[in-house]
Amino acid sequence: MKRVKTAVVGLRRGATLAKFALNYVKSIEIVAVCDLNRELADKFALENGIPAVYYELDEVLKTDVEAVILATPIPDHAEHTIKTLNAGKHLLCEVISATSIEDCQRIANACKANPSVRYMMEENYCWYRPLTIVQNMIKAGLFGDMYYGESDYLMDFQFRAGFPDSVQPWRRKTYFGRRGHPYITHTLGPLCYTLGSDIKTVTCLGAGSHPGVPADRTCVLLLQTHDGGMIRLRNSFMCTRPDLYTYYSVQGTKGCYQGSVGATDTHKVHIRGLCGSQEWRDVYDFRGLLPKEWDMYPKDFFDDSEDNGTTKYDSGTPLLLDAFAKSIISNTTPPVSAKRSLNWTAAGILSEMSINNSGQPVEIPDFGL
């Protein structure tokens, strides 16, 4: 079987991705790792049998690796992406693609200038296990025509001593340094991926303030899809409540899915004709619709009863990695393509323009892809 020779760059988040690939993904061969922290890079390579270690992205790009998994800090994504694409390397980039519309366009231009190179954003939540079941229920026609989705991404950084200065500078800038919902793709991406349509316009409003923090305590987005559907998102990183970052719900003409909102809740579906008029069924009653790729895990790997809305979000990441590699091997468009990645990213960036203009809708550019 063909395996894609791959380097992992950035070993904070990247270490998890590398281990998933090493343990589960037969289509990827991790041949190198890279991190500015030499001790971290050396230790990881030694412990995991990685043959090559580098300390700068430029060093990696001079080698014969075919692909790069990029897990560097968000403000570096655009520059690192453009370098990698122009070096002729396929790229799987952590979220979000960029932090400005100008950089989104530069990435699009680099993709167009290197048409044989594959770009994909590593939106792992698109492969969230209950959503994967729902996606296949939709494909089977059980939900009818899809027209609505919603998601919440709620966390509380306030409890950390010294907040907000205690937050990593790049994360503080991304999460708290502007209004709107720039870190959008964990909520928006899986809904677009499940509903099958991307974003045309974004509207955003916010409420609540925190001393010294430009971001609102919470913001709510309404997004129109290209096929006339609607998505509602709520985001907060200063929310005094238990965390919730894998809540999704989607609605079709024949049924709906509603995710767990806490430890006492479940993932559930209502399908008219399969359920009573007021009846919910556990989504895992339909686990037989999981694609065969999930067989890469041992049969006792999952205890689905443990998923309470803040766990298992990374469980489908090996399938994402495999999909990226197979798009290279088969020379096909990745499932989270450059066009989709930039559409989702831009919706978050432009939510700031909407919120600063009293919630006026803002149209998402297509970047010529």
Q: What is the pLDDT of residues 331-359, one digit of tens each?
A: 999 999 999 999 999 999 999 999 999 99
Mean pLDDT score, 274-303: 91
Query: What digits encode the pLDDT tens for the residues 101-120?
Result: 999 999 999 999 999 999 99
Helix residue spans in the chain (DSSP H): 13-24, 38-48, 57-61, 77-86, 101-113, 129-139, 169-176, 185-195, 317-329, 338-356
Q: Is the pLDDT of residue 310 over 90?
A: no
In order of their start, the domains of the chain are 4-123 (3.40.50.720), 126-333+345-356 (3.30.360.10)
Mean pLDDT score, 40-63: 98
Q: What is the pLDDT of residue 198?
A: 97
Q: What is the pLDDT of residue 313?
A: 87
- Say if CB 53 and CB 33 are below 8 A apart: yes
Q: What is the pLDDT of residue 312?
A: 80
Give the contacts of 108 (CB within 8 A, at least 6 positions apart): 338, 342, 367, 368, 369
- Band (pLDDT 50/70/90 cuts) for residue 284 is very high
Angle, helices 185-195 vs 338-356, to 10°: value is: 120
Which residues lie across from 156 on neighbouring strands?
238
Q: Is the pLDDT of residue 308 over 80?
A: no
Q: What is the pLDDT of residue 285?
A: 95
Q: What is the pLDDT of residue 176?
A: 93
Q: Is the pLDDT of residue 280 over 90?
A: yes
Q: What is the pLDDT of residue 184?
A: 97
Q: Is the pLDDT of residue 309 over 80?
A: no
Q: What is the pLDDT of residue 298?
A: 84
Paired tokens of 184: 């959008």
